[in-house]
RNA sequence: GCUGAAUUCGUCUAACGGUUAGGACGGCAGAUUCUCAUUCUGCAAAUAGGGGUUCGAUUCCCCUAUUCAGUACCA
């Protein structure tokens, strides 16, 4: 019998979620949906010193924008509520004490300062300090103190911590869905802190294992940075007696920076000119980091791009809707090696999505953009415009510049284009074309305009490129635009002719 | 330093012992077009190094190198 799939995304609200986090959430979501399972969002705020106001809301909004739907969590509740670890504090102490009682953990009174100086001394000797089997009997803890001394110090209010008692020599064999078998010698591990009296909160390790167990998580899908603590987690499940229901693990490869070394960091984006966050982030201190949403990316393109960063379908398909991703996703096809993030590819995905977008859908996005610039446009016209410009856009932010001239007559004319085309016979030809063709047109719409101009071109034996580009200069003010016939059609007879006459008047004879 | 993981075109990756090592992004060159884009076609571009195993290794094993991660009373 296969167990029900229950996965969780468990970020800590210490800042904005970056794209690596979104990808982890996405893989969890795809896996859950693929197997008809449940997607849980748990907030791991067990470090009271690193809490950042607004980070939690940012996480919710980023997931919503990305189309990653949560079944159980802080916002939606569920059978294992609360889903915020700071609201579950009393649960963890119980298990920490249980571990002490079973001799799998112990109280330690060493202060952070004491440990710090110990570390420095070791470093000075070229050694590294580890709080482990080799030294724990000599440290200030319940292993070296009598039970009376321990309870006395706790009662008198000394700061304490509960540490896991890592076995001195045990081969820990683990299984990872992506990496296969991994074995680690427990002698190389240290006695990690599980609970701290300072804020009455567990550390990640304890809280994570306890909650995953209580919430009946079936698969833990998380970043590779957690692989080194997997042995500890295995030992915790064992010590708590939960090995038989322990979840399966899958450690995702890291997302690396586009150039240079290391994993993608918050600073790379600003330095290299691309977002590392899904949404714009404003820190409480007032720092601003750009986001994919504000930079003009479509959520579907963003998700598609992230999905392919570390996973591949095994076919040559690259464009996937969320439904297709759910259908195709499997952990077996997640790669083992870190993936260098490519801003170019992100842009390409977005361009593909805009190009393939339905005219009306893009028109709907265009209406508010045009309004922001002070003009009104109805959905019918916006859709027509969308059809003309969409193949030229990479980001949503490109749209306005691509259709600006449809709303604003040129105030000035591009110098290079003017020098190239506003010379020789061209101005005279435009005047002739205007008077003898455009002004006399019965119906001023694309096919008629096209027919008439072609006729005139052919009769007079004129060069099409010269004439059309000169005409484009007078109407758009520059040398790049979609088909001029469509532009004239949209502008209408009056506006088109007014623009040509104005150019004729202001640009002179050439 | 120690522990672990990883290593195919510049980048993302396919090939689960036998292929002219495939695709995509980016680059370059053409074609199409009234311009710009789009689109299409083509070109250059890779198995980290060394040992094994095998009739045959990108693929399996070992060593080396390199990279990354972890090494907190952070997650």
Domain ranges of chain A: 88-252, 357-408, 409-510
Residue A448, exposed/middle/buried by CB under 10 A (0-12, 13-18, 19+)? middle
> Does the pTM of the predicted model rise above 0.90?
yes
Average pLDDT score over residue span A290-302: 97
Rounded CA Rg of chain A: 32
For the domain made up of A88-252, the CATH class stated in words is alpha beta
Please state, in angstroms and rounded to a whole number, the distance separating the CA atoms of residues A223 and A255. 9
Instruction: Mark residues 311-330 of chain A whose C-beta is closer than 7 A to nucleic acid strand B.
Output: 312, 314, 316, 318
Task: Please tell me whether any atom of strand B lies within 7 Å of the Cβ of A444.
Answer: no
- Overall average pLDDT of the A63-72 stretch: 98
User: Which pair of structure tokens corresponds to residue A369?
Assistant: 């953009």
Distance in angstroms: CA A347, C1' B35: 24
User: pLDDT of A383-397, one tens digit each?
Assistant: 999 999 999 999 999
Confidence of residue A7 (pLDDT cuts 50, 70, 90): very high
Spatial separation of the C-alpha atoms in residues A266 and A346, rounded to whole Å: 17
Nearest to A95 by CA among A207, A252, A244: A207
Amino acid A1: pLDDT: 44
A365's tokens: 């996005």
Contact A479, A469 (CB under 8 A): yes
- pLDDT digits 0-9 by tens, A429-473: 999 999 999 999 999 999 999 999 999 999 999 999 999 999 999
What ipTM is given for this predicted complex? 0.96
Chain B, protein-covered positions (CB within 7 A): 1-8, 10-15, 22-26, 34-39, 67-75
* Cα separation values, A124 from A117, A118, A121, A134, A135, Å: 10, 10, 5, 19, 18
Nucleotide B74: closest residue by CA–C1'? A47
B57 C1' to A337 CA distance, Å: 22
Q: Is the CB of A14 under 7 A from strand B?
A: yes
A120 is catalytic: no
For residues A95-109, average pLDDT: 97
Whole-angstrom distance, CA of residue A20 vs CA of residue A263:
9
- Does residue A510 have a pLDDT over 60? no
Which fold would CATH assign to domain A409-510? Arc Repressor Mutant, subunit A (1.10.10)
Q: Can you give the distance from the CA of residue A483 to the C1' of nucleotide B29 in angstroms?
A: 27
Å between A433 CA and B29 C1'?
38
In chain A, what percentage of residues exceed pLDDT 70?
A: 99
The string of pLDDT tens digits covering residues A43-62 is: 999 998 999 999 999 999 99
Prior bond of A63 cis (ω within 30°): no
Of the residues A266, A336, A390, A423, only one is catalytic, namely A266
Q: What nucleotide is nearest A259 when CA is compared to C1'?
A: B11
Contact A273, A289 (CB under 8 A): no
* CA dist., res. A437 & res. A449, Å (int): 9
- Using C1' positions and the CA of A336, the closest nucleotide is B6
CB A159 under 7 Å to nucleic chain B: yes
What integer pLDDT is reported at residue A509 of this predicted model?
Answer: 64
For nucleotide B24, give the residue with the nearest CA to its C1'. Answer: A318
Mean pLDDT of A88-114: 96
Please choose, from the candidates A245, A351, A233, the residue with its C-alpha nearest in 3D space to the C-alpha of residue A300: A351
């Amino acid at each position: 019998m296969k167990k029900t799939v229950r996965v969780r995304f468990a970020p800590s609200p210490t800042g904005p979620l970056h794209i690596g986090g979104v990808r982890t959430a996405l893989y969890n979501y795809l896996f859950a949906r693929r197997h008809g399972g449940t997607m849980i969002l748990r907030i791991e705020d067990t470090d009271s010193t690193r809490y950042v106001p607004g980070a939690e809301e940012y996480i919710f909004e980023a997931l919503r924008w990305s189309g990653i739907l949560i079944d159980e969590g802080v916002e939606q509740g569920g059978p294992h509520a609360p889903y915020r670890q700071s609201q579950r504090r009393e649960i963890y102490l119980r298990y920490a004490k249980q571990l002490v009682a079973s001799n799998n953990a112990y109280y330690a009174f060493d202060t952070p300062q004491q440990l710090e100086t110990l570390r420095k001394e070791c470093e000075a000797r070229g050694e590294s300090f580890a709080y482990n089997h080799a030294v724990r009997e000599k440290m200030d803890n319940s292993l070296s103190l009598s039970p009376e001394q321990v309870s006395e110090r706790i009662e008198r209010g000394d700061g304490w911590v509960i540490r896991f008692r890592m076995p001195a020599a045990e081969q820990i064999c683990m299984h990872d869905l992506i990496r296969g078998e991994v074995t680690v010698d427990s002698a190389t591990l240290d006695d990690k802190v599980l609970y701290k009296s300072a804020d009455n909160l567990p550390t990640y390790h304890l809280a994570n294992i306890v909650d995953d167990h209580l919430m009946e998580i079936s698969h833990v899908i998380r970043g590779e940075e957690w692989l080194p603590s997997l042995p500890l987690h295995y030992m915790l499940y064992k010590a708590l007696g939960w090995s038989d229901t322990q979840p399966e693990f899958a450690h995702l490869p890291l997302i690396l920076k586009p150039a240079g070394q290391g994993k993608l960091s918050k600073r790379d984006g600003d330095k290299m000119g691309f977002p590392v966050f899904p949404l714009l982030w404003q820190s409480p201190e007032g720092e601003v980091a750009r986001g994919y949403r504000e930079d003009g990316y479509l959520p579907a393109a963003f998700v598609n791009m992230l999905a392919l960063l570390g996973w591949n379908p095994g076919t040559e398909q690259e464009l996937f809707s969320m439904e297709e991703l759910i259908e195709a996703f499997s952990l077996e096809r997640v790669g083992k090696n870190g993936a260098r993030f490519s801003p170019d590819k992100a842009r390409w995905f977005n361009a593909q999505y805009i190009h393939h977008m339905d005219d009306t859908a893009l028109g709907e996005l265009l209406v508010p953009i045009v309004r922001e610039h002070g003009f009104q446009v109805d959905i019918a016209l916006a859709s027509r415009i969308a059809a003309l410009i969409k193949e030229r856009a990479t980001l949503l932010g490109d749209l306005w510049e691509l259709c600006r001239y449809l709303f604003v007559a040129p105030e000035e004319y591009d110098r290079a284009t003017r020098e190239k085309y506003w010379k020789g016979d061209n101005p005279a030809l435009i005047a002739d074309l205007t008077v003898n063709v455009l002004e006399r047109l019965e119906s001023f719409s694309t096919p008629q305009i096209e027919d008439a101009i072609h006729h005139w071109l052919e009769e007079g034996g004129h060069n099409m490129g010269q004439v059309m580009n000169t005409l484009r200069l007078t109407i758009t003010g520059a040398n790049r635009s979609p088909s001029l016939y469509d532009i004239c059609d949209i502008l209408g007879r009056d506006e088109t002719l007014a623009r040509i006459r104005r150019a004729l008047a202001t640009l002179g004879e050439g």
